[in-house]
């Protein structure tokens, strides 16, 4: 990377972060929360980019890491009095790391589609356990708990408002991004990318490919768990729906939409997907009301599921923009 490149990158980075820091001042309450959600899903998507984009292993099991982070945080917040933020992080990351180690041990023996299916099945195992173990996990209803305060014992204690929580999530995301960027640029990250390009050759050079894969899955799972903890704090509940494999599928969609192997791409993808979903879910009722004013009755239009156009957009991106939005934009800019 040339010096000019570096300068452009850091300038861009600072501008984006600065914009995100001031963004909530221009937004009403609902959109502040919405932006926080985008950042959390973006963190989850970014964590899976380590596997999808850099190591070339498509994980369909990130809901397990995310969900276990959530339930780990729930355990901490329900047992400690007063609920401790840092304990929530500790338990959540511990749970996610344990699950990630377990999944990684088995799934990294397999490649390509087999890896994808195995991670999917593993996440379903945790889903079934959480769903049926009602005494501990609350089963279908999940768990409700109160939000901890942002506190350092003995120093200060500050209850979270929508605004401070947003900044807190933004800070966690920014630090995570910098850490993951550093990791992907490190020799370790280079080995991951060489496994993506040519696994046999990487092995021949002498790298213990299996061990690298296990570490990659664990690293990815740890950051997914971090996203889970943040989500639990934001929404004050943990539910089995978030362990279901459809969540993993959405995470893969974010990655593909935004562009894999870029770290930022998945965040862009998550933002695009969630904004499109929000927009489309308002579009159809609006169209129906406009049609009704014109005297045209279109039964069912107001309830038209917004996931249908979203699914079609996704398919079109898979077929025509395999590089994702970011890759597409980059190529378009370089034209």
The CA dihedral of 230, 236, 237, 243, to the nearest 10 degrees, is -10
Q: How many CB atoms lie within 10 A of CB 7?
A: 10
116 binds other proteins (CB under 8 A): yes
Applying CB under 8 A, among 124, 137, 202, 220 the residue interacting with other proteins is 124
What's the CA gap between 53 and 255, in Å, rounded?
Answer: 8
Instruction: Give the contacts of 30 (CB within 8 A, at least 6 positions apart).
Output: none
CB 23 within 8 A of CB 39: no
Contact letters (x/-) for other proteins, 6-45, by CB under 8 A? Answer: ----------------------------------------
What's the CA gap between 55 and 115, in Å, rounded?
Answer: 12
The CA dihedral of 105, 179, 247, 228, to the nearest 10 degrees, is 90
CB 81 within 8 A of CB 59: no
3-class SS of residue 67: helix
Least Cβ distance, residue 229 to other proteins (angstroms) = 26
239 binds other proteins (CB under 8 A): no
* Window 190 to 229, contacts with other proteins (CB under 8 A): none
Q: Which is nearer to other proteins, 77 or 268 (CB)?
A: 268
Stretch that binds other proteins, among 86-94, 125-133, 162-170, 213-221 (CB under 8 A): 125-133
Residue with tokens 């935004």: 258
Contact letters (x/-) for other proteins, 129-168, by CB under 8 A? Answer: x-xx------------------------------------
Interface with other proteins (CB under 8 A): 58, 60, 106, 109-110, 112-114, 116-118, 120-122, 124-125, 128-129, 131-132, 245-246, 249, 252-253, 256, 300, 303-305, 307-308, 310-312, 314-315, 318-319, 322
């Amino acid at each position: 990377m040339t010096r000019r490149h570096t300068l452009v990158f850091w300038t861009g980075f600072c501008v984006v972060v600065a914009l995100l820091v001031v963004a909530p001042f221009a937004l009403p309450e609902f959109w502040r929360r919405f932006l926080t959600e985008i950042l959390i899903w973006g963190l989850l998507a970014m964590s899976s980019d380590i596997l999808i984009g850099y190591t070339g292993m498509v994980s369909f099991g990130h809901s397990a890491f995310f969900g276990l982070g959530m339930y780990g945080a729930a355990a901490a917040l329900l047992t400690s009095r007063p609920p401790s933020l840092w304990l929530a992080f500790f338990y959540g990351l511990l749970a996610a790391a344990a699950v990630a180690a377990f999944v990684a041990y088995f799934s990294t023996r397999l490649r390509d589609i087999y890896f994808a299916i195995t991670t999917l099945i593993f996440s379903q195992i945790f889903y079934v356990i959480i769903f049926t173990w009602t005494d501990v996990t609350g089963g279908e209803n999940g768990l409700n708990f109160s939000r901890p305060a942002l506190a350092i014992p003995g120093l200060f204690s500050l209850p979270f408002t929508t605004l401070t929580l947003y900044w807190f999530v933004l800070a966690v995301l920014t630090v995570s991004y910098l850490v993951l960027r550093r990791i992907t640029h490190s020799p370790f990250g280079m080995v991951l990318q060489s496994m993506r390009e040519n696994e046999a050759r990487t092995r021949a050079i002498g790298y213990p490919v299996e061990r690298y894969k296990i570490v990659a899955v664990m690293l990815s799972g740890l950051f997914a768990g971090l996203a889970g903890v943040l989500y639990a704090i934001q929404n004050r509940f943990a539910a089995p729906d978030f362990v279901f494999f459809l969540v993993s599928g959405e995470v893969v969609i974010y990655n593909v939409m935004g562009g894999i192997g870029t770290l930022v791409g998945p965040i862009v993808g998550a933002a695009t997907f969630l904004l499109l979903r929000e927009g489309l879910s308002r579009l159809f009722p609006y169209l129906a009301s406009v049609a009704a004013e014109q005297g045209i009755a279109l039964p069912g239009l107001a309830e038209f599921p917004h996931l249908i156009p979203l699914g079609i957009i996704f398919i079109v991106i898979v077929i025509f923009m395999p590089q994702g939005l970011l890759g597409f934009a980059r190529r378009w800019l370089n034209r």
